[in-house]
Structure 1
Amino acid sequence: MRYLDPRADLTFKKVFGEHPDLVISFLNALLPFDDDNRVESVEYIPTELVPDNPLKKNSIVDVRCKDQRGRQFLVEMQMIWSEEFKQRVLFNASKAYVRQLDKRENYDLLQPVYSLNLVNDVFEPELKEYYHHYDIVNVEHSDRVIEGLHLVFVELPKFKPHNFSERKMQVLWLRYLTEMGDAREVPKELLDNPEVKKACDILEESSYSPAQLEGYEKFWDIVRTEKTYFNSARKHGFAEGRAEGRAEGRAEGRAEGRAEGRAEGRAEGRAEGARDEKMRMAKKLKEIGLSNGQIADTTGLTVKEIEEL
């Protein structure tokens, strides 16, 4: 029997966007809650956050819900990292926080917003930890926190289930995300837990229609295309930057000139190379059939730039 990858858009939303018991277990395992603050029930709310300015693109998250206290949870699976993703996460969380009130209500009614982001890429290579929790804190006294926004990022490639007893459910859910990709059988430890077993059963290929499976394969085609273009842009930018930097440095013939030439050349080369690759990627994603908004999220280009292609 074949199991689909839970990180795909189709499966991730089906598992955590249609089964309250599973998203409750997932949130309690991955968010920094003690026993007194655990999520007990959830209500799904629309995932589309429409911007105040109608000229700006909508911002989409995979799963959005609130619990019995009114706390909101935004859950997103991100396959490829880009620095723009941080700003998108902050935007979505801030928008959800602000929209809790209208002009007649008091600020003390505001409830926290938790943004949980599973990233299938490494974006903090210098840090050994896979789990990153961001709050609004006093720089000199980090124990002084302004409640409201809580951002959590998980680097899935860094996760290694070394200690199974520590935060057992977190380990199980992260194993589910990292080990069930197109698996033929389910690890026993996942089957032994009722919630994770249920999530595994949802991934059975036989549960999906031909149209859904076609969309599933198309999703992975898009991911592979994006990765190819991003990697190509990085390599192109570095190579062009080094070449231009060396040329300018030799022409100047001075130590200062060489240093400045290399620095400027690398910067300009990376910028130009990355932009060229973004434009080529956007054209490819247009051919695949993605909307201008989705392409803008993926490439960092503006909708206007994409419309002009």
Structure 2
Amino acid sequence: MCSEGIIERYVNFYTDFAFKKLFGTEINKDLLVSFLNALLSGKEVIEDITYLNTEHLGSQEYDRRAVFDVYCKNEKGEYFLVEMQKGEQQFFKDRSIFYSTFAIREQAPRGVWDYELKGIYTIGILNFCIFPDEYDFYHEVKLVELATKEVFYDKLTFIYLEMPKFTKAETELETLFDKWLYAIRNLASLMNRPPALQEKVFTHLFEAAEIAKFDRKERCEYEESLKNYRDWFSVMKTAETKGHAKGLAEGRAEGCAEGRAEGRAEGRAEGMEIGFAQGEASGVEKGERQKAIAVARALKQQHIAVSVIAQSIGLPEEEIEHL
């Protein structure tokens, strides 16, 4: 049976299946309209959207292909590319710019044209962080003139939502946008609709996201998508663990080398044997310390309380605060 490995009540929004079902289908387009209006906070008021083909080629048959998660335009003719990104890529920003060019180029009509373009919004819902700011999860990017800091071109907008930085509890939700981000981040862990999410649009969201209401085909597709997500998560955690192990080994090696050097210097006064013993101990201690610092930094990025981190790994609170 397709759903035997699923114990959650609602889908994981970060899976490809869930994202496209909830935001990329005609029957659920009111969900995307509500999300976009909440995201834009009155800068635009979208009444309706039309879904566009998500698979695009360049101007020539041999050009590189682009496949969007969700691609649509509103009643004003403005374009919206909405992407869910699970993991960071080395050239993520380049990819984001590259994708926006398709919405620009396809606006060129045949025949005479004065180059007037409709607005384009590229929106990334990111399950990772790309900006150094520790707390701000919302980032809006436009072309600006550097000397005056004034917007040079206001029809090309990139909006990035760093979901790991959104840590509001249900009692802290104030705006419709807050509620949407809370739903996106926590959907798979909820067993019931939260009392704070009482708007009509969330009634539709939780009905559409309930796994028990899927037909057999949808359950199979979701389970496959969930498996892919879990495999990806496992790969990322394995790489992270190996990275920590490599860092620890390098730290130990460096510490041992420094310790031996110190041991030799002290050995002139106290004897070479004592110096090497102290050097080895110092090296191991330094390696363990570097590991603790790396773990502390990672926990701080997840906004874990400094006091909790200090109790867990043994570093002083004041040192953790300055990492």
Counterpart-to-counterpart distance in 2, 1:149 and 1:26: 19
**Residue among 14, 29, 39 paired with 1:20:** 29
Matched, 1:219 2:228: yes
Cα distance, 1:144 vs structure 2: 3.0
The one-letter code matched in structure 2 to 1:221 is R
The one-letter code matched in structure 2 to 1:77 is M
Alignment gaps of 5+ in structure 1: 250-309
1:63 aligns to what?
A: 70
Asked whether the 8 Å contact 2:173–2:196 carries over to 1, the reply is no
Matched, 1:206 2:212: yes
Q: How many residues align?
A: 245
Q: Indicate the SS of the match to 2:196.
A: helix
2:272 aligns to what?
A: none
Counterpart-to-counterpart distance in 2, 1:189 and 1:81: 31
Q: TM-score under structure 1 normalisation?
A: 0.70
The one-letter code matched in structure 2 to 1:87 is D
Query: What pairs up with 1:103-252 in 2 under 5 angstroms?
Result: 104-161=111-168, 164-165=173-174, 168-190=175-197, 192-208=198-214, 209=216, 210-228=219-237, 230-232=239-241, 234-235=243-244
Cα distance, 1:53 vs structure 2: 5.4
Q: TM-score under structure 2 normalisation?
A: 0.67
Asked whether the 8 Å contact 1:31–1:152 carries over to 2, the reply is no
| Identical aligned residues as a percent | 23
The one-letter code matched in structure 2 to 1:193 is E
1:255 aligns to what?
A: none
**Residue among 6, 14, 39 paired with 2:13:** 6
CA gap 1:122/1:185 in 2 versus in 1, 3 angstroms: same
**Greater Rg, structure 1 or structure 2?**
2
1:303 aligns to what?
A: none
The one-letter code matched in structure 1 to 2:165 is K
Cα distance, 1:235 vs structure 2: 4.1
Cα distance, 1:226 vs structure 2: 3.7
Cα distance, 1:85 vs structure 2: 1.6
Asked whether the 8 Å contact 2:15–2:226 carries over to 1, the reply is no
Asked whether the 8 Å contact 2:122–2:158 carries over to 1, the reply is yes
**Residue among 82, 92, 96 paired with 1:85:** 92
Asked whether the 8 Å contact 1:65–1:72 carries over to 2, the reply is yes
Asked whether the 8 Å contact 2:144–2:152 carries over to 1, the reply is yes
2:38 aligns to what?
A: 29
CA gap 1:217/1:141 in 2 versus in 1, 3 angstroms: same
Cα distance, 1:108 vs structure 2: 4.3
Cα distance, 1:238 vs structure 2: 5.1
Counterpart-to-counterpart distance in 2, 1:234 and 1:103: 53
CA gap 1:105/1:64 in 2 versus in 1, 3 angstroms: farther
Asked whether the 8 Å contact 2:18–2:222 carries over to 1, the reply is no
Counterpart-to-counterpart distance in 1, 2:113 and 2:251: 56
CA gap 1:39/1:121 in 2 versus in 1, 3 angstroms: same
Q: Indicate the SS of the match to 1:146.
A: strand
Moved more, 173-182 or 45-54: 45-54
Counterpart-to-counterpart distance in 2, 1:199 and 1:246: 54
Counterpart-to-counterpart distance in 1, 2:154 and 2:61: 30
Counterpart-to-counterpart distance in 1, 2:12 and 2:88: 19
Counterpart-to-counterpart distance in 2, 1:130 and 1:116: 13
CA gap 1:232/1:161 in 2 versus in 1, 3 angstroms: closer
Asked whether the 8 Å contact 1:116–1:153 carries over to 2, the reply is yes
Counterpart-to-counterpart distance in 2, 1:152 and 1:108: 24
